[in-house]
Amino acid sequence: MKLYFNSITPVQQLLLLIILTLTSWLVITILGIAVAMFFWGSGALMNPNALLANSTFLKFFQVLQSIGLFILPSILFEVLTTGFILPGHRNLKNRTGIYVLISMLVVMGSQPFISFLGVLNNSLVLPDYLAGIEEWMREKELGAKEVTEIFLVSSHWSDHFINVIIIAVLPAIGEELMFRGALQRIFQSAFKNPHWAVFITAFLFSAIHIQFFGFLPRFVLGVIFGYLIVYSGNIWLPILAHFTNNFMAYVLYQWHLSDSNTVINPLEAGNEYPNLIWVTTSFVTVVITLLLCKRLNKESIAK
């Protein structure tokens, strides 16, 4: 079976991934509903407004989504097509520490540039005849922000631990396995070009979040994550970078809650552009860091 699925075309691989994702999501959802009925009762599940106000249920559902839509189908896809459990498992040749620093540095260094893109994207104004669509887009953005804030509120160390798992750990693992591990590999096989694969995957990565006024910064982050696996051959680099990005947002939001007068809400793009020098430096830092990763990778392969 492994040999059969390893020899199928990229289109067939994409169909296989879609089938695995839908099947996994259906099975996990059914199991999740059974568990939810046990804890909250069937009556509570029939009241959408009550569920949206129930942070415990929302966190439970988010965990199910991470597992059913991203982690499980990605692992099954990798096992069926390569025989391995995780994609991109190239040995880092005793340079793990350097690659870890690269993954963290490229995300931290990108923040001024990402913030610039966020303000630019947030300033998008559609023509008057599309005012209704723009209003709908703004409402979707606000709804996503409100739901995200539910996951970020913490009152005890145990809340912080659970929230970090839900906000940073599971999305980093699941989304990177799906997008950089599975989809990007399929597109690279289809187009025979890693750059096309990176940009197409980053587009889908940003689009699936359905947050129109955050599309551009999320797209660029997807590009960064994509090149990390291209230049390292190891899925753990984009996973670590993704985790770093989400964890930083979580820490900044907690700081914002403690001092909202001086600390900007990281969930809001705002209307003030960051200093151009910082933006330029940030962009150059990202490029240099990725090129360093590429050079280290070439040296590792040559040895």
Q: Which of 29, 52, 85 is the last residue of a domain?
A: 85
> How many folded domains does the chain comprise?
2
Q: Which of 66, 85, 104 is the last residue of a domain?
A: 85
- C-alpha dihedral sign at 214, 247, 112, 294: negative
CB-hemisphere CA count at 13 Å for 268? 11
Model confidence over 101-110: pLDDT tens digits? Answer: 999 999 999 9
DSSP 153: -
Task: Give CA–CA dist 149/110, Å, rounded.
Answer: 23
Q: How high does pLDDT run on average in the chain?
A: 86
133 and 246 both lie in a single domain: yes
Domain that holds residue 293: 90-302
192 and 104 both lie in a single domain: yes
Higher pLDDT, 273 or 238: 238
pLDDT higher than threshold 60 for residue 2: no
283 and 244 both lie in a single domain: yes
143 and 58 both lie in a single domain: no
154 and 292 both lie in a single domain: yes
105 and 177 both lie in a single domain: yes
Q: Which of 48, 63, 85 is the last residue of a domain?
A: 85
157 and 253 both lie in a single domain: yes
41 and 101 both lie in a single domain: no
Question: Which residues have a Cβ under 8 Å from the Cβ of 179 and sit 6 or more positions away?
Answer: 201, 204, 205, 222, 225, 226
pLDDT higher than threshold 60 for residue 1: no
121 and 214 both lie in a single domain: yes
Q: Of 38, 70, 80, 81, whose CA–CA distance to 57 is shortest?
A: 38
Specify the pLDDT at position 55: 75
> Hey, which residues does 234 pair with through a beta bridge?
89
Any long-range contacts for 42-50 (C-beta under 8 Å, 24+ apart)?
Answer: none
Model confidence over 156-197: pLDDT tens digits? Answer: 778 889 889 999 999 999 999 999 999 999 999 999 999 999
